[in-house]
Amino acid sequence: SGVSFTLSNGVKIPGVGFGTFANEGAKGETYKAVTTALKVGYRHLDCAWFYKNEDEVGQAVKDFLKENPSVKREDIFICTKVWNHLHRYDDVLWSLNNSLKKLQTDYVDLFLVHWPIAAEKDGQEQPKIGPDGKYIILKDLTENPEETWRAMEKLYEEKKARAIGVSNWTIKGLEQLLSFAKVKPHVNQIEIHPFLPNNELVDYCFKHDILPEAYSPLGSQNQVPTTGEKVSENPTLNEIAKKNGYTLAQVLIAWGLRRGYVVLPKSSNPARIESNFKSIDLSDEDFEAVNKVADNRHFRFVNMKDTFGYDVWPEEAKNAISTE
Ligand code: A2P
């Protein structure tokens, strides 16, 4: 898909990004997946320090550029994120520099604060885990992330990141961030799919020139525990795909792009990596039909509260399950 958006600072961002999260992925899996993605045309890679595979992403990009001299580093949009235990000013700087080394590049296109939670570290390489098996939350820095954001702004000024933003931020958190930001966040990456359209947060972002990015846009593989429903098994959504000869994933990706935000599908399967990137035409009628499925749904699949010992979305706890 050639759709792109423009961030509030004028930086262009490809509308479909390739998600590189590999849950306990085998060594080499990310390298293969990213290589396939670049070959079939993706020009946006969504990475994170926490995914522990930036070295494979970096190698895949380097080898791809070498084999395809007409494509330059600046043609590829690379995002990465700082993990919770590195929210202190110097640690944020350390985190991006560490990511840049692994990614084998001297700048990223986008750098995000991965979660609105600051936690104690156990050296640079990992968070400290408390006796209850959970992260040790740094209350002050979590409640006031100004120090963290100043470091993000510093990296932006130094042009080590062409844009900066956040991930998993709520409206309340964004309001606070906007109150002290000298550089406003360009992006908020959040979970969005038809079972969690996240309309209020998405609208808030648009209103404040923050581009939303959708993770788990396919609704993951999870079930709503109370009803057993799955996005992938929703009859209406499957009917829309079938009657047009599209895959369900293509419909969900097109729905997100049409709602105006970045969509980040991930797959380790070459055929699905390729088909997910093919753009399709979603008719007005089908677009409205997906909106109708999404109406009044608030089901969150990704909630790290059991790992963190801290719930980012307390008001929605009743809908949350853990998928860590
Ligand atoms: P696979 O790697 O086997 O393709 P989400 O980003 O919503 O959490 O979803 C990611 C999951 O969706 C992955 O497990 C991936 O599995 C699967 N997936 C990706 N693309 C497709 C597709 N086109 N059809 C079905 N499942 C898909």
For a ligand 1 pocket test, name from 191, 248, 269 the mutation site with the most ligand atoms within 8 angstroms of its C-beta: 269
Q: Name the residue at shortest CA distance from atom 21 of ligand 1.
A: 272
Query: Element (H or E) spanning 44, and its range?
Result: strand 44-46
Q: What are phi and psi of 11, to 5 degrees?
A: -75, 130
The ligand 1 atom at the shortest distance from the C-alpha of residue 250 is 23
Domains of the chain, start order: 4-219+260-279 (3.20.20.100)
- 67's CB contacts (< 8 A; 6+ apart) are none
Structure tokens given for 245: 């000869």
Residue-by-residue pLDDT tens, the chain, 324 positions: 889 999 999 999 999 999 999 877 789 999 999 999 999 999 999 999 999 999 999 999 999 999 999 999 999 999 999 999 999 999 999 999 999 999 999 999 999 999 999 999 999 999 999 999 999 999 999 999 999 999 999 999 999 999 999 999 999 999 999 999 999 999 999 999 999 999 999 999 999 999 999 999 999 767 887 888 999 999 999 999 999 999 999 999 999 999 999 999 999 999 999 999 999 999 999 999 999 999 999 989 888 999 999 999 866 544 544 333
Distance from the alpha carbon of residue 298 to the mean position of ligand 1, in angstroms: 21
Q: Name the residue at shortest CA distance from atom 17 of ligand 1.
A: 267
Distance from the alpha carbon of residue 178 to the mean position of ligand 1, in angstroms: 34
Predicted local distance difference test score (pLDDT) of residue 245: 98
Distance from the alpha carbon of residue 232 to the mean position of ligand 1, in angstroms: 10
Q: Where are the alpha helices (DSSP H) in the chain?
A: 29-40, 54-67, 89-103, 139-143, 146-157, 171-180, 199-207, 235-244, 248-259, 270-277, 284-294, 305-308
Q: Name the residue at shortest CA distance from atom 6 of ligand 1.
A: 216
DSSP secondary structure code for residue 49 in this structure:
G
Distance from the alpha carbon of residue 121 to the mean position of ligand 1, in angstroms: 32
Predicted local distance difference test score (pLDDT) of residue 255: 98
Q: Name the residue at shortest CA distance from atom 24 of ligand 1.
A: 249
Cα(269)–Cα(158) distance, integer angstroms: 38
Q: Which of 86, 84, 111, 87 is nearest to 100 (CA)?
A: 111
Name the residue type at position 69: P
Catalytic residues: 51
Q: What are phi and psi of 196, to 5 degrees?
A: -145, 70
